[in-house]
Amino acid sequence: MIEYQNVSKKINRKTSLKNGSLNINNGDLLVIVGSNDSCKKIIIRLLNRLIEADEGDIWFNHKKITDYTIKDLRSKISYVSTQANLFNNLNIYQNLTISLDKNISGQDKQTIANTLLELIDMDNQCLNMKPHELTYFEQKKISLARAFAINPQVVLLDDSFDEMDKISQIKLHELLVRLKKHFHTTILMTTDDIADALKLGSSIVIVNDSKIEQVGTARDISQHPANLFVKQLLENNHIGVSFDLETLLKSELGVNPRYYPKTDMLVRYHVYNFKDLVKDCSNHPDSLFIAETDFGEFLIEPKRVWNFLLKRLSTND
């Protein structure tokens, strides 16, 4: 659906992206991880032509993005910046519906606004309120929901959650996944948190300065880092050392049950933490089972869990 072909970009005579190539499938939640001075923001902003590439091509729906008008391109690709950026002179209803086509009826606009509020756990009584009457967290939720109002094919999130505290980030991540599932949208987002990327991303891009270092799934990257930079990034953030259940199941220990044909025959356990997982592996040391968690279901092979623990013990971690 989206393809970057040897794309390069210089800003202030400095190379910000060098020969970057990416393939992004429909429905992906692609997370680009890097520092603030890396090319992560460049990759995002090139797609909706906030900036233009110096070399290479970007394809969207089998068509070069330069062959679209800016208006047509941005009717298909929404953008969420770091700040909430609501219009203070407009109420919440007007902020949510401002991007909708003028030919859409008032009743349909109201339905869209109500649906969006329901998806982000906000009451429609706020529709007549102004942004300053909301908390900043609520403003961020409205800003996120507004990006989905036009039912775009793609939503770009440009460090959109990084300024929030960790608890608020987790809640916004949950809302993002809910909105994505409802609208079947492709997501590209940037972050400087590798742990968040491993939890959220169906695909992950690791960048360093102007270079794309590795592209892959959470499992690919955590188990097979492409080079020393990626390995150190994982180690510095204690990936593979800590026992965060969600990160471990998505990156190392769990398998999507859809790849196994007979999951209906397997024992199921609700797993709340890593200790529960180890206990369940002890109960079924030689057989597969399904771990049901608040963030999805995972096929568990106890042998893989034991090997993980042995590896950590052998390295004194």
Per-residue pLDDT of 12-60, as tens digits, reads 989 999 999 999 999 999 999 998 888 999 999 999 999 999 999 999 9
Domain ranges, ordered by start, for the chain: 2-236, 245-314
**Predicted model pTM:** 0.80
Candidates 1.10.520, 3.90.1280, 3.40.50, 3.30.379; correct CATH number of 245-314?
Answer: 3.90.1280
Contact 269, 245 (CB under 8 A): no
Over the Cα atoms of the chain, what is R_g?
A: 21
- Alpha-carbon distance of 185 to 102, in angstroms, equals 23
Q: Which long-range contacts (CB under 8 A, 24 or more apart) does 124-128 make?
A: 126/92, 127/91, 127/92, 127/93, 127/96, 128/91, 128/92, 128/93
Per-residue pLDDT of 83-122, as tens digits, reads 899 999 999 999 999 999 888 999 999 999 999 999 999 9
Query: Of 178-187, 188-197, 241-250, 287-296, which has the strongest mean pLDDT?
Result: 178-187
Backbone angles phi, psi at 52, to 5 degrees: -110, 145
Topology (CATH) of 2-236: Rossmann fold (3.40.50)
Per-residue pLDDT of 104-114, as tens digits, reads 999 999 999 99
- Alpha-carbon distance of 287 to 271, in angstroms, equals 17
pLDDT, residue 308, reads 83
DSSP state of 90: S
> Over 80: is that where the pLDDT of 259 sits?
no
DSSP state of 186: E
Q: Is 219 helix (H, G, I), strand (E, B) or coil?
A: helix
